[in-house]
Amino acid sequence: MKKYAVIMAGGVGTRFWPVSRVSKPKQFLDILGLGQTLLQMTYARFEAILPSENIYIVTNEGYRDLIKQQLPNIKDDQILGEPMAKNTAPCIAYACYKIAAKDPDSVVVVAPSDHLILDKQSFINQVNGGMDFAINNDALVTLGIKPSRPDTGYGYIQYKEAEASAGVHEVKTFTEKPNLDLAQKFVNSGDFLWNAGIFIWKLDSVLKAFEDHLSEMSDLFKSGKNDYYTDQENAFIEKIYPSCQNISIDYGIIEKSDNVFVLPSDFGWSDLGTWKSLYDVAEKNSEENVQIGKQVEFNSSNNNLVVASDNKLIVLEGVNNLFVLDTEDALLVCNMDNEQEVKRIVNEVKAKFNGDYI
């Protein structure tokens, strides 16, 4: 059975403003200062698991050239351009129905492009284990992470104690983005995992799930069987995408399915959803400051994150718990406790400055 990877790379990274912009969102940035963008790091992880020609990237059509710049060996057929953002269910359907038109007897791993994974070998082992299980079972497999806090931004997975196979457990309940009280109860119970947004399944299994739970979407993508891998593919996608329901794979498929399994995993995962999540995983100096950029000085300052452009010196004197995010045309200084306000700030800047700086 052939193995494929689908990398989702269409997000605009609003919460990482002002460094992340619509023209070049965070997956295309070296946000960690490691010499590789998040997309390049994700691609490299999957190159260690399966052939590079079997790695597909679903993205906004406008990012096609960026992907070619950062992954120069990728072919046009491996870049799936969306004409508009419609959440994760349509982009996954697009990729899976396209692969099925070529290699229907395949197993697929789907993952975001902008997550941090510190333990590459453990990740490889878990994905291979998940693929082995999916090949031999009618299963929708997800990788689960032990929660460290009651975060309302993740799906929560409760699983049966007995193993269905080595390291794999059947899921009892899947709850997408609960309120804070419920998330706290989940964490306190010790019986729940975060959904990392990494899925593994045979094409037969996931396409049946689309037919059962998102039948209209399934019919749309099935109708293009003869258009995939041809000059007609882009026109077909542009035609059907406006009719696709705007829904996540979690709400549309995973919550409704009774054949979901989970691998409890520990590979140094972070979804890098906010500046605070970047601060938490980044290397810190003795005063718990994080510096991304060359010219930063900290004086009597603690627990700060500074992202500096290369042509500017930034000095912090006697301040604590700040994000200082400097770019060529915008500067954001924000208390760490107010990190959730970044999205609101972006909306206000967009409205006030007619979309400039976004």
pLDDT tens for 195-224 read 999 999 999 999 999 999 999 999 999 999
pLDDT at 203: 98
**What is the arithmetic mean of pLDDT over 122-134?**
96
The model's pTM is 0.93
- pLDDT bucket at 151, cuts 50 / 70 / 90: confident
**What is the arithmetic mean of pLDDT over 52-66?**
97
Residue 156 has pLDDT above 90, yes or no: yes
pLDDT at 33: 83
pLDDT at 221: 98
pLDDT at 110: 98
> How is residue 21 annotated by DSSP?
B
- pLDDT bucket at 153, cuts 50 / 70 / 90: confident
pLDDT tens for 227-275 read 999 999 999 999 999 999 999 999 999 989 999 999 999 999 998 888 9
pLDDT at 158: 94
Q: Which residues contact 303 (CB under 8 A, 6 or more apart)?
A: 287, 288, 289, 320, 321, 336
The DSSP-derived string for 199-239 is: EEEEHHHHHHHHHHH-HHHHHHHHTTTTTTTSTTHHHHHHH
More confident position, 335 or 191: 335
Per-residue buried b or exposed e for 206-231, using 16+ beta carbons within 10 Å of the residue's own CB: bbbbbeebbeebbebbeebeebbeee
pLDDT tens for 88-109 read 999 999 999 999 999 999 999 9
Show the CA angle centred on residue 135, arms to residues 118 and 45, nearest 5°. 20
pLDDT tens for 10-45 read 998 889 999 999 999 999 999 888 899 999 999 999
Considering the domain 2-270 in this protein, what is its CATH number? 3.90.550.10
Q: Which residues contact 279 (CB under 8 A, 6 or more apart)?
A: 290, 305, 323, 336
pLDDT tens for 311-347 read 889 999 999 999 999 999 999 999 999 988 998 999 9
- pLDDT bucket at 154, cuts 50 / 70 / 90: confident
pLDDT at 190: 87
Q: Are 290 and 273 in contact (CB under 8 A)?
A: no
**What is the arithmetic mean of pLDDT over 46-71?**
97
pLDDT at 175: 87
Q: Where are the domains of the chain?
A: 2-270, 275-352
pLDDT at 149: 87
pLDDT at 13: 86
What's the mean pLDDT when you consider all of the chain? 95
**Using CA atoms, how far apart are residues 32 and 325, in angstroms rounded to an integer?**
13
